[in-house]
Each structure stands twice: as C-alpha cells, then as structure tokens.
Amino acid sequence: MLFLTRRVFGVGLLTFFLSVAFSAFFRLTRAVVPFWISTGVLLFVVLLGIIFDIVGTAVTAAQEAPFHAMASDRVTGARTAIALVRNADRVASFCNDVIGDICGTVSGAIGSALVIDLVLHYEAYRFEDLISIVMVGLVAAMTVGGKAWGKAFAIQEANFIILQVGRALEKGKRLLGLEENNRNNRSYKSNKSNKKKRGSRKK
C-alpha cells in the first residue's frame, strides 16, 4: 500500500513538473514563433500522445513467449521487449497516464494560445468564443479519433509494436553509450562475485 502511494505520488509529481515545463516553454516562445510553427507543434504533441497511447496499449496485449524465441536468435530489440512486457503495468502507466495526460494538457494550452493569436492578429474579437469552441473540438477530435484507431491497431499488432520499441530503445542506448556502461558494470560485478567465491574456497 505504501509502495503504491509513493508510486502514485511520484507519477503525479512528474506529470505536474513536465506539464508546467512544456506549457511555460511554449508560452515563452510563442511570441517569436510563427503561427504555422505553433500549429505544427500542436499537431506533433497530439501525435506524440497517440503514439504513446499505442505503445501503452500494445505492451499490455503483447505476449512474452515469442520474444524469448527471438532473443535466442539474437534478434535486435527482443531482450528489451521482454523487459517491457514483464513491466507492462509500469510501462502502460507511464505511456498512457503520464505522457498521455501531459500531451492532453499541453495540447490544450497550445490550442488556447493559438486562439489568442488568431483573435489578436485578425482582430476577430466578436468571434473569439466561436474560434475557441472550434479549436477545442478539433483538438479533441484528433486526440480521441487518433487514440481510438491506435488502440485497435495496438491490439492487432502488439508484438510487432513492442519489438520496434525495443529496437528503438536499444539503438538509443548504443548512441548514448549506455549499453557499454551496462556491460562494464555487469563484467565488474561478475568479476567481483568470482573473487569472493575464490576467497571463500581458499578458506
């Protein structure tokens, strides 16, 4: 119960700070950023939320057994896919709840900022409420419609999606040099444990 409370608190805290950071960054830069770029950012945030929702749904529907066969054949991404499936609850919570909610909050903030820019630029003060309603409707339609399609696709192609995510994560680790550090840590720990075993045998 205590672990669950800490986890919920941590997720909420992370969501709060990330949402504030993204929203503040957009509001500070929108004055010097053209309108079409802001629209592109809005579409990107909505698309990002849909992609993470697909991953979160796929990881709960994926089967672990096929990835073991792939890992034995040294298929790239298979080992990471196994880890993702084994931690499906955490991965789904992060993708669907944390990133999904952040994207929803940020897209709403960007949409409201775009409404203000449109009203000020075209001096359409009479139509401010109408523009706001249309913007909210468009953002909601893209988000809900995209996630509805994404969930169906994620359930049908769950293993394929998680394998691609595993490959992307492994490639990212290689580019950042994290994989070599993990190997060095493993070899160091194994050498340390071997030395302990040899010392106990001598005694």
- Band of the pLDDT at 188, cuts 50, 70, 90? very low
Evaluate whether residue 40 is within a structural domain. yes
**Residue 149 confidence (pLDDT) above 60:** yes
75 conformational bin, left if phi > 0, alpha if psi -120 to 50, beta if neither: beta
Mean pLDDT of 9-13: 74
Give a yes or no: residue 113 inside a domain: yes
22 in any annotated domain:
yes
Give CA–CA dist 64/82, Å, rounded. 6
Supply the mean pLDDT for the chain.
81
In a domain, 32, yes or no: yes
pLDDT of res. 95: 92
Tokens of 202: 């001598």
Angle CA 176–178–179, to nearest 5: 120
pLDDT, tens digit, 9 for 90 and up, residues 61-89 = 999 999 999 999 999 999 999 999 999 99
> Is 121 among the domain residues?
yes
Question: What is the greatest pairwise CA distance in the chain?
Answer: 89
User: What's the average model confidence in pLDDT over 104-125?
Assistant: 80
111, 42 Cβ separation under 8 angstroms? yes
Comparing 186 with 69, the larger pLDDT belongs to 69
198/47: higher pLDDT = 47
Q: What pLDDT is attached to residue 148?
A: 94
Q: What is the pTM of this model?
A: 0.77
Residue 192 placed within a domain: no
Instruction: Please check whether residue 166 lies inside any domain of the structure.
Output: yes
Q: How many domains does the chain have?
A: 1
Whether 60 maps to a domain, the answer reads yes
Its domain, for residue 48, covers 2-176
Contacts 24+ apart (CB under 8 A), 18-22: 18/98, 18/102, 19/101, 19/102, 19/105, 19/106, 22/102, 22/106, 22/109
**Local confidence band at 180 (pLDDT 50, 70, 90 cut-offs):** low
